[in-house]
Amino acid sequence: MSAAAVPQPRAHQEPTASAARGRRRSLGVALLSGALGAALVLLATSRTWAKGTAAVAKGTLPQHANGDDITGLPGALAVVGLAALVAVFAVNRVGRWVVSGLLTLSGAGIVVSSALGASDKAALEEKASQATGLADSAIHDVAYTPWPWVAMGGGVLLLLAGVLALGYGRHWPAMSGRYERAGEGGKGGGRSRGAGRARRGGAAPDPERPEELWKALDRGEDPTEA
């Protein structure tokens, strides 16, 4: 009977440790991909997406349009997605599902709008009309840059962060959890509150907490490493 009881704790401990590593990895990947994706989109939309020439009386006039000129949707959705990524750790239960869905939709919207804007020349034609003073001024020698595809890649990263949040977000800690535990520990009286403060002051920070992973990203570390 004693021999049969020995392996049971191991069988319960190994899946728990593996699950903890999986949750930490999914959290780190979501933070990294979400932050990087939003940064790529905001960078790409500020760069030239299309260029061409407009015919004028004495020759041609070069024209160019950046991502925000062609469509303001990817940049706006990148800001929304980044805000949703932070909000995932500030809410629980149903609220976390809602903001995770918003993060996923933001990434998908960036992918679609960037793909549509990759071959759009309406902004160039509008600039040509303003330059020539003609309502229907034609644009010639249109060329497109790779920046719309960079924005699309950023949208894919935000979409990945949203999918991870939907799949694993219920297991991620919330930023407010530490303070809630502190409040619960203070219900036992002044001495317990003082002891709780002393323990918190001397305890090492939990590397799995969202704020610690954000700090790791700021230091240039990879939070997905075990």
Predicted confidence (pLDDT) per residue in 200-218, tens digit: 554 555 555 555 655 665 6
Cut 0.75: pTM above it: no
Residue 155: pLDDT band with limits 50, 70, 90: very high
Whether residue 126 has pLDDT greater than 90? no
Least confident of 59-63, 64-68, 179-183, 210-214: 179-183
The better pLDDT of the pair 11, 164 is held by 164
Residue 140 CA: distances (Å) to CA of 54, 74, 112: 6, 26, 26
Q: What are phi and psi of 6, to 5 degrees?
A: -65, -50
Longest dimension (CA), the chain: 99
Specify the residue for token string 């020539």.
132
Provide the strand spans (E) within the chain: 48-56, 59-66, 139-144
| Nearest Cα to Cα of residue 36 among 157, 150, 149 | 157
Residue 178: pLDDT band with limits 50, 70, 90: very low
* Average pLDDT over all residues of the chain: 77
Residue 140: pLDDT band with limits 50, 70, 90: confident
| Positive/negative CA dihedral, 168, 174, 178, 181 | negative
Q: Distance between CA atoms of 89 and 98, rounded to whole angstroms?
A: 12
Whole-number pLDDT of residue 124: 85
Whole-number pLDDT of residue 208: 53
Mean per-residue pLDDT for 183-202? 47
Q: Distance between CA atoms of 195 and 188, rounded to whole angstroms?
A: 11
Cβ distance 103 to 63 under 8 Å?
A: no
Whole-number pLDDT of residue 212: 61
Residue 41: pLDDT band with limits 50, 70, 90: very high
Whole-number pLDDT of residue 179: 41
Whether residue 20 has pLDDT greater than 50? yes
